[in-house]
Each structure stands twice: as C-alpha cells, then as structure tokens.
Structure 1
Amino acid sequence: MALYDHLGAHPEDRDGVAGTRFAVWAPNAESVSVICDGNGWNPGSDELWGSSSGVWEGFIPGFGPGDRYKYAIRSRSGELLEKSDPFAFYAQHPPHTASVCWNLSGHRWEDAAWIDHRRDTDWLKAPVSVYEVHLGSWKRPKDGRRYFSYAELAEALCNHCEQYGFTHLELMPITEFPFDGSWGYQATGYFAPTSRFGTPDDFMAFVDVCHQRGIGVIIDWVPAHFPTDAHSLARFDGTCLYEHADPRQGYHPDWNTLIFNYGRDEVRRFLTASARFWIEKYHIDGLRVDAVASMLYLDYSRKAGEWVPNKYGGRENLEAIDFLKELNVELHRDFPGVLTIAEESTSWGGVSHPTYNGGLGFSLKWDMGWMNDTLRYFEREPLYRSYHQGELTFRSVYQFSENYMLPLSHDEVVHGKGSLLNKMPGDVWQKFANLRLLYAHQWLNPGKKLLFMGCELAQWTEWNHDAQLDWALEGQPYHDGVRRFLGDLNRLYKTHAALHATDCDPKGYVWISGDDAARSVLAFMRRTADHSRNLLCAFNFTPVPRPNYHLGVPVAGYYKEVLNSDADIYEGGNVGNQGGVYSEEIPSHGHKHSVEISLPPLGAVVFDALTGQAIPPRPAKAIEAKALPSNDSKRPR
C-alpha cells in the first residue's frame, strides 16, 4: 500500500456505515482530533487513537467527499495547533486553509495509447519542446473575476500547443499553495492540485485531454523547501517534524521558507510518495524539480558561520544527495518514460548521469549557463558582439557533459528584467529580427527546448502573474512573424531527426565556423548518429548582410534552404539563397567541400544536405547571345 493510501482522509464503509478513515503522522503530539463542520470545529470532539509508530488514526461515520476538516493537535507543551492534512487530496480555495475530503477514483482515464507511447519512447532521442505555463495568468475570462477552469484551459492550451508545435506543457506548481505571489513555489499541499481551477477530478480530466491530443504534461515539483504558514507543515506537532530544528540547516534565507530534513526517513518517504502520487494518480509525464542547487549545498546562499558542514567537513548536503538519487532510481524503475528534470544552476557534475556512474540520476538538466551567456550576448549592441563571441562558443566545451534542456523560462522575464523582446537592442525591426535569431539559436543547438508563455507572442512587457498575456498582439505583423517563425522552428525540430535524435549525443554535432568573431558569424552541422541526415545551421549576429559567404561542409551535395529567419513571411528582409546552393570541391574550414551562401542580417539559415539521387539537377547555364552584325551603316541617314 502506498503511503498516501494509508495516511490522510479516505472515504470507506465500516460494517455498512459510510464514513471516512483518518490517519496522520504526529509522533510528538499529546493528542490529535479531527475538527470539521460536523462537530462545530471543536477540538476533542472526534479524537484519533495514537500508536507507537507516531500515527494517529480513527473513523468518523457520516463524513465524506466534499467535507472540510483539519487536525487539532495538542503538543506536549500544551499548545493547540490547527493543521491542514499533509496528505489531503483537495483543499479549500485560498485564502481559506481547510483540507477537503475527496475520492480519487471517479475519473475514467482514456489515455492508454499515450501511456504506451510514453513508456516505449526514448525521450533523449525524441523531440521535446516544452511550453511553460502559469495557469492563473495565461488567459482569463473577460470579466477578470475568476480563473478559467482546468476543463476550459485544457482545450485552449492543447489548441495553442498544436498551433505552435510544442510537444509538452510544463505547469508551474499546481500543488496547493496559499500565496499567489509565490507562483506556487511555496506549496502547502503536496498531494492536492490547487482548487483555484477546479477539483481533483477536473485536473485529471485536464491531463487526460492533453494526452488524448498527444501532448505531455510536466509539473514543477518543489522538494527543496516549504512555507512557514501556521496551518501547514511547519512545527507540525509542536516540534520540527518535517524541517531541521537548527535554522542553519532548516531555514532558507532567500525565500523565508523552511528546508526539509532529508536525513529523516519519514520525510524522505513523504516526498517520494508525493512524486509517485502525481505520476500514479494523475498520469503526469515528468517532474521538473525546482531549486536543486539549494538542496545540494549546505552553504547555499549562506555566509561563513551560517551553515553546518557535513560529517566530512564539506559543503555537500549528503542526505539530500542520497534522497535525489533514491528518488530518481525509483521513479525511472517504476515509471519508464517519465522524465525527471533538474533546475540546477551550478557546475555540479553528473546531474543527469545514472546513479551507477556516480550521477544524481535525472533525465535532463536545465542548461542555465547557456541561458545566461546567450541572453548576455544578445543584449549587447551588434557593434560590440565581435568582442564576445566566446559567450556563444563556450558551450561547445561542455554541451554533451549532461543531457541538457535549453530554457528561456519565467525567471528571465520578471522582477524588472523585461521581456525577451525588450532585451533585444536596435530599432523595432532589429528587435524582432534579434528575437527570431535568439529562438533559432535555441532550437538549432543541441538540447531539449523550453519557452515560457508569452514569449511566443513577442510581448513588449514582462510577465505579470496578476494579469493575462497580451493577446491583443495577435494579428500585429511583426508579432505574427515571430509566431509563425516559432511554429516553423518547432515543426522543423520535430520532423528532422538531425535536430532531436542527437540532442544528447556528440556524434550529432560538427563545428563548421566558430572563430569568425570579426563578422559575428557562427555555423555548425547537426547530424543523425549514422550521419545519414545533415543540417547546416548558420547565423549572422550583425545587421550587415553577408553575401557570398564560404563555409566548409563535410558532405557534398545540394544544400536545400529549409528555414530562413529573414523570410518575408516572418516580416524579415527576404535575404536568402533562392531555394538552395550546390557544394563545390573547394576546401574550406577543414573540409574538402564548401558552399557559398547569403547570410541575412541578424538572421539564421538552415540547409538540408541532399545527397545521391535526392540532389536536384543543376540548372543549365544560360547561353550567351552572340551579337549580330550591325546593319546600321546600311540604314538611311
């Protein structure tokens, strides 16, 4: 029996009497009772029985799904605490904090085909293009007085993902949370989808619809810390039960939150049960684990003297490391095809390596270094980019050291950082050209993709969690150009194996030109592992067109232009290559063959290398017309 099948509130019949069985872990409590509408919220009216395991249990007849409750916990010091259920499946809409009894067996799943597909897919070799969403601010009803429901959001988001070609949704935390301003990253309900958008059944239906439409669902999951709210986990039974008692280990100064005690078996089992719960009960396809770096380092965001070294005198959090390894092993063993993704911002080695090779066992790791270097480069005026070419080329040193995801997430468009569009230098045309170039650079480089909502609309303003996206931008030419380009990028990424099958394999990447800093040009080849498909990707990071630009290529043939960020359909200047170019047996860049291409200003071009019978015949050279003898001398003057 899973932990969440035992602890919490579970409707059942006993001797023909319908009611609910309660069980809660509070080993240091003097007494525990259930308070609810049925007993007038009176502590002591419905007492639970304790045991040597520290679990208090009892049965209340007549109590059932939809009924609200809390636990009244009397500590050994005499303090009376009113706590929500750590294992509650549902909760009141914030700011109310009671737990709500719920039966999770009501939804009939119809996503068997997707689950089979998920299990049989090697996601490291498959396209993974993630659309990151904050459900409360993606789109809102016109009156602005409520949120759209899970059901309303499911159809709309699936349509949106299909329009742009995204393969997965990533939901910012939907585990119940009290404060809107935390965006869900300070959870109080590790087993309850937030009631802001509907019931647990509604959220099951949301995931089911996505799966039937062929779209995976990833959720942000936060085992790194939890809030200090009095109704939640903090000092749950009057003692530091879930958190460390020593604030040097148990208090997070950045977020005014508490840190789980990973050295306590019951806490690890609680967190592991939560991770399993979302996959088992809600068919979730992946967990993006937030703030992993803060879990790995005991001195994270702390000064000397503000942290406690491990038993070897080091700064590594050995208990947290063991927990993450155990969690990843268990999830990958029991749920093949489910992704675990680490938001880890340091150079910790082996985050996405198997545990048997000394790694942490995650499927993927966010490449925060790529994000920081790339945005820093793009924010520079093109005039100065030639001095900073290394910000784009440095990644090649480590790009296959982990299984990477390239993120442009919500963190890059909040707190005064501005929108991606407004980070770009230049006039309006150049800003949009730069933004298309940024997306091309992200999608064409090796690694899975993630883009935050609103970036596809090319918003002028940064994200505001209290308002919906700026949907009025749809229909405006420059913005529509970005939208069309992003959709075409995703379609290219999904249909050309060279762009996704070797995202995590060095066999699929060949540098062509990384040292032309003077002209701010980069070029590389993306390939399948057997080199049967090859895509040449070239970038010009200045507003100066580069005609007749020579690039060496490892494959002879016809290079068909399959994407150009400067095409007029994207509101570009339409500097291109008239469909493609033929390679010539002219050595360049260490290769025997080369091509001569036109590089558009602030643009990226992609060529599919066609070989053998796929090469179209070269057009016949035009025959020059010979000048005829002039008869002018014979004409009358």
Structure 2
Amino acid sequence: MSISSYDSYLFHEGNLQEAYRFMGSHLRNISSTTFTEFCVWAPNAESVQLVGSFNQWSGEGYELKKFNNEGLWTITIDQNLYGETYKYKILSANGNTYMKSDPYAYFAEKRPQTASIVYDLNSFSWQDEKWLKKRSATPHYENPLFIYELHLGTWKKEDGSFLSYLELADQVIPYVKEHGFTHIELLPITEHPFDRSWGYQSTGYYAPTSRYGTPEDFMHFVNKCHLNDIGIILDWVPGHFCKDAHGLYQFDGSYLYEYENERDRENYTWGTANFDLGKGEVQSFLISNARFWMEKYHIDGFRIDAVANIIYWGNQDKLVPNEGALSFLKKLNHAVFEYEPCALMIAEDSTDWPQVTAPVHYGGLGFNYKWNMGWMNDVLEYMETEPSKRRDVHSLMTFSLLYAFSENYVLPFSHDEVVHGKKSLLNKMPGDYWQKFAQYRLLLSYMIAHPGKKLLFMGSELAPFSEWKDLEEIDWGLMDYEMHHKFNSYFKDLMHLYKGTNSLYELDHRSEGFEWIDVNNANQQIFSFIRRGKQREDFLVVVCNFSSKVYHHYKVGVEEAYVYEEVWNSDDERYGGSHQINPIPLTVHEESYHGRPCYVEMTIPPYAAVYLKPSKAEGEDREWRKKNV
C-alpha cells in the first residue's frame, strides 16, 4: 500500500497537503502488472466494504482493513479497475449501513447517478509551460485584472443541452479574449447533485463535474485558456457541503467531516452542513484539494465562497470568531502560496474582519484579494436611487475611498446581484430606455476608474434587461438590437482602454494612485478625481456625471499641462449616447481651481463618464496618446 505511517500522521494532524496521492482510488503498476488501491477515512465504522460494477455491487470478499489500527481503511485489488464504478459500503457503530461515494474520487457518474469512477489523471499532454512560467514571475497587483464570472451550464446551450468542456473551449475562450477579460472565474465545477445549486453544494471535491465531459476534457479547457493568455479561477466552497445521502454527511455514521454540535453543524440558510474546520483530517482534505486543482489541472487560483460563514460561528446570537476556522484559512493560504507564490486567493467576505489580505506572517488571514462587497452594495443603492434624490445619498459613492486601500480589493458585479428577483444591472438603472443604457455605461466606466481589480458576471457585457435565468442560456439574441450591439462595442472598447492605460491599474492598492478633485458636488451629482500610475506624470482625470443634465463650460481643476485631451466619453454616439463630447484638446487656464494650479473648461454629458489625458508640450499630445492609450 502506498500510504506510509508518516503520511497517516500528517493526515490526522492536518498538515498533509497531498492526501490525494494515496486517498481514494489509484492504479499502480509493478513489473508490468496493474492493480488498484483504495483508501478511505472512516474512523467510526465497524466495517467497510468495496462494492462496484466489478463485483456486482456485492462487498463479500472485498473488505477493507484498518491501516495501523487507525481511522484509515485500505484494500488492494489485483485488477486494473480503470473506468469501473464503485462506492464504499460502511457499517456504522450503531448498526446502520451507508452507501458512500469516494470523497477523493477523481471522477463520478453523471447525475442522477452517484457512484465514483476509478480514473487516472496522467494521460493528458499539457502545453502551457509558457503561461505557467509567466504566471510565477508576474505578481497581479500592478497589472490589469478583469474577471469574467462564468456558469458553464448556462453560458450557451445546444437544443437545450449543456455544451461540453471541449465545445466551451472552442466558443468561450475566443469570446472572452475578444472582450478583453484577463481571467475566467468558474462557478463551482466540483461534482454536485443538483443543477440549481450552481455547484455550491458539492459531493465530489476532487472530481470535475461529469455534466460537461471527462477530466481530460476539462484539462483541455484550462490548457486552451492558458494558450490564449487567460487565467482560470475556481469558485471553491470549503465552508459547507450538501447533505445528500451518498456524500460527506454522516460519512461513517458519525459527524465526521462536519461539526458534532448541531448549532455549529447545521447551516440553516442553505440547508447544508458546515465543515469542522478545526479537525486535522478535514484540514488535510481541503488543503490537499486546493493543491490538487493547482497541480493536476493547473488552476491559477480560487475565489473562496462565504468567508463570513467561516470566520464566525453560525447560529449565534452575536458574532463570535471561530478560531479553528481562522487557523484553517491561514494554513490554507500559506500552503497555496508556498506552492505557487503568484496564485490568486480571493475572499468573498462581507465582514469587516481586519487584514484579510495581509500575509499570514504579518498577522493577516493570508488572502491576496477580497471582494469589495461594501462598494458593490453602496454603488448599486446609489444607482437605483431616483436621480433627483441622489444628492441625499451622495456619501454612498464616496465612502468606499475611506477604506479602499485597507485591503487588496476586487470590485464585483457577480451572479448574486442579478438573480432571484434582483434584476439585471441594466434594469436596476432608473428612467426610460435611453437613460437606462446611459447610466449602465456610466456605471461600468466608473467601475473601471475606481481603485481595485474588477469582476463581471457573464451576459452583463450584452446589457440584458432580464436577470440571470439559471436554467437558460444568455440572451444572445440581444445582439440583433441596435442599443445592445452598441453597448457591446462600448464594453469592448472600454476594456481595451483599461488594459492599455497604466494609471487605471498600476496603483490599485496604494493611496497615491487616487486623488479627489471635487468630492462635494452633491447638488449637480458630479464626481471628479485623478487616477495615477507609478510615474507621477502618468495620470487620468475622471469626471462622472450621475445626473440627467448636460453642463457646458464646466470647470475642473487640473495639474499643469499643455492641453488635456478627451480619451474616453461614454456618451459617444457610437455607443448610443447623445454625443456631448469634447472633440478638441482642452485649453489649460493657469488659474487655481478645486485646489489645483490650473483648470479646464469642458462639456459634461448627461449620465456619462469622461476621461481626460494630459499632454506636456505642444505637438506631443497626438503621439503621446497613441503611445499610452
């Protein structure tokens, strides 16, 4: 048996990072003979039998034995069982029998079937060495990062059926690349029984769901993303799991993976069970799982779901920190960055817990990014406010800059904001048809200019009126309509501008990258500020008008320059706007304004964002714009 006493010790201690090398099922070869090994953790079982398609689902003669008289059970079958289905038949101490799929299985039957499948992951030929080398040498902080959040089952369908991993690779990747996204974040693709859980309630943490194909097919998808310079992030759920009978819940008749105490165990909000994150074997299971996806599937990082549910004990009258879970998060992040220093570890955290994105050795939780849920909620509340009343909620748009640099943030407009009756981003905008599109363009231009990396849920680039319908594909027919087509062109141009403008991303996480010009103009609902790059002379002036009025000869205080040139205007007629643009370079008046040494007079379009770029000397402006924007 491949397991050693030292492996077993590390597993129980919570420090085994590669448990998948002996847990689960494995094909072994010795002297041209192939046999199959199985290992499962079931410390409170009276007996464990291996049942499957190879023995007519009868466990007689297929009894597992305890390893070192501990909680691990093993068996070696003198056959090559590749492709065979199997489960563990567990007799508990209370006399009940449980038929369980393998927690460490590499592959599983397509739902509604629930058996595990003996599989090998070593046959795929990876071609992404260039990407992996570049990834390891390129920190994310000073580079553009815009994530396309994707649900594989509803991006597109053929005759109502799912596309395969192979079909998705051929269709999604060119589309994502055309639109300028840097990464794809996949809603959970670990095996799960219920489509409408979107993968957030898993039974097979080591198995990419068979809905879309085989493990090699998913490897092909990741490989092709990397060959096209697109990173892959997995949405990952280490906090809780579903309670289906074949899964982790009461695995050996006891509360094994979950807390024993009901108040701690039961996640009433989602109808799931919380992992006992203070238990060593559970830590080894989950930390090994993160390492597994990175090693075997070349995954570039993880978005950790429901971190608030991990940080604090559930079902309490007040917020009480879960020290065991906090230690787990630190151990997890330390292990991931030890394996890949430039991995992405993104916390979906709605709490104000300090130092979420500070390194563990500095007392932090060790993530390198955190979703800015406060920014998202405040901005959407402001946008959904009747424009005539926005002056009364002005601080919703300014509050985020009080804490924008306390963590490394991702600004998310995710699936959670466009489902379950919340309306699409476009339809959240008040007003008539034209006003909705104008304000949506403004919203995304403001998002691009605000400090922080970015995330957008699939379909939002088409400006749908309908929210996400989680059983149907994206509204692709929208591209037949003029305003939606123009919006899509606008989005691609905005992404091109973002990725080509250093000042929009280089100092996302440093206060010197942002300066207010005028933060107090609540009556006119205009916000103006500067975004800076690492070079002091590299900056943009951003002016956002959240009112329906157009303002001519509007004064904006600026830094010294020869002229300022408009490099972006969301009101351009090409995008469906009213074309209140600034077509010629703006003259700089050498008179103090807004606390700046100079000012320009410009046209401020209705419901629009304008970006201005300075030119230092006469004649330089056109060539300088060509080089830098």
Partner of 1:488: 493
Deviations 1:435-487 (A, max 9, x none): 10111111110100000011111111110111101000013111112211111
Deviations 1:343-381 (A, max 9, x none): 001111111111222211101000000000000010112
Deviations 1:49-71 (A, max 9, x none): 11223111111233422111001
Equivalent position SS for 1:287 = strand
Question: What is the distance in 2 between the residues matched to 1:511 and 1:545?
Answer: 21
Superposition pairs of residues 320-359 of structure 1, within 5 angstroms: 320-359=325-364
- State whether residues 124 and 503 of structure 1, in contact with CA within 8 Å, keep that contact through their aligned partners in structure 2: yes
- State whether residues 91 and 97 of structure 2, in contact with CA within 8 Å, keep that contact through their aligned partners in structure 1: yes
- State whether residues 54 and 81 of structure 2, in contact with CA within 8 Å, keep that contact through their aligned partners in structure 1: no
- State whether residues 39 and 45 of structure 1, in contact with CA within 8 Å, keep that contact through their aligned partners in structure 2: no
Question: What is the distance in 2 between the residues matched to 1:123 and 1:614?
Answer: 35
Does residue 6 in structure 1 map to residue 11 in structure 2?
no
Question: What is the distance in 1 between the residues matched to 2:214 and 2:540?
Answer: 47
Question: What is the distance in 1 between the residues matched to 2:335 and 2:616?
Answer: 46
Partner of 2:113: 96
Equivalent position SS for 1:138 = coil
Deviations 1:32-87 (A, max 9, x none): 11110111111334111112231111112334221110011111222111100000
Query: 277, 293, 314: which is aligned to 1:262?
Result: 277
Question: What is the distance in 2 between the residues matched to 1:67 and 1:583?
Answer: 75
Question: What is the distance in 2 between the residues matched to 1:53 and 1:569?
Answer: 69
Does residue 82 in structure 1 map to residue 99 in structure 2?
yes
Q: Structure 2: any 5+ residue segments left out of the alignment?
A: 1-6, 8-17, 623-629
- State whether residues 561 and 617 of structure 2, in contact with CA within 8 Å, keep that contact through their aligned partners in structure 1: no
Deviations 1:228-279 (A, max 9, x none): 1110111111111111110111111101111111111111111000011111
- State whether residues 558 and 615 of structure 1, in contact with CA within 8 Å, keep that contact through their aligned partners in structure 2: no
Question: What is the distance in 1 between the residues matched to 2:359 and 2:614?
Answer: 35
Letter in 1 for 2:125: R
Measured after TM superposition, the shift of residue 549 of structure 1 is 0.9
Partner of 2:131: 114
Alpha carbons of structure 1 residues 555 and 221: separation in structure 2 relative to 1, 3 Å? farther
Does residue 20 in structure 1 map to residue 36 in structure 2?
yes
Question: What is the distance in 1 between the residues matched to 2:248 and 2:478?
Answer: 43
Alpha carbons of structure 1 residues 14 and 122: separation in structure 2 relative to 1, 3 Å? closer
Partner of 2:240: 225
Question: What is the distance in 2 between the residues matched to 1:533 and 1:474?
Answer: 36
Partner of 1:567: 572
Normalised to the residue count of structure 1, the TM-score between the two structures is: 0.93
Alpha carbons of structure 1 residues 616 and 169: separation in structure 2 relative to 1, 3 Å? closer
Structure 1, 365-374 or 469-478: larger mean CA deviation: 469-478
Letter in 1 for 2:562: G
Normalised to the residue count of structure 2, the TM-score between the two structures is: 0.94
Deviations 1:179-221 (A, max 9, x none): 1111100011111100000000000010000000010000100
Letter in 1 for 2:153: G
Percent of residue pairs bearing the same amino acid type: 44
Query: 584, 589, 592: which is aligned to 1:587?
Result: 592
Partner of 1:56: 73
Measured after TM superposition, the shift of residue 612 of structure 1 is 3.6
Alpha carbons of structure 1 residues 597 and 86: separation in structure 2 relative to 1, 3 Å? same
Does residue 135 in structure 1 map to residue 140 in structure 2?
no
Partner of 2:454: 449
- State whether residues 556 and 584 of structure 1, in contact with CA within 8 Å, keep that contact through their aligned partners in structure 2: no
Alpha carbons of structure 1 residues 327 and 523: separation in structure 2 relative to 1, 3 Å? same
Partner of 1:288: 303
Equivalent position SS for 2:520 = strand
Question: What is the distance in 1 between the residues matched to 2:582 and 2:202?
Answer: 53
Question: What is the distance in 1 between the residues matched to 2:46 and 2:616?
Answer: 78
Query: 413, 420, 426: which is aligned to 1:415?
Result: 420
Letter in 2 for 1:28: N
Partner of 2:45: 29
Q: Structure 1: any 5+ residue segments left out of the alignment?
A: 308-313, 618-637
Partner of 1:199: 214
Question: What is the distance in 2 between the residues matched to 1:303 and 1:289?
Answer: 22
Query: 381, 388, 398: which is aligned to 1:383?
Result: 388
Partner of 1:429: 434
Does residue 41 in structure 1 map to residue 64 in structure 2?
no
Q: Highest Rg: 1 or 2?
A: 1
Alpha carbons of structure 1 residues 579 and 149: separation in structure 2 relative to 1, 3 Å? farther
Question: What is the distance in 1 between the residues matched to 2:601 and 2:582?
Answer: 9
Question: What is the distance in 2 between the residues matched to 1:267 and 1:613?
Answer: 65
Partner of 2:187: 172
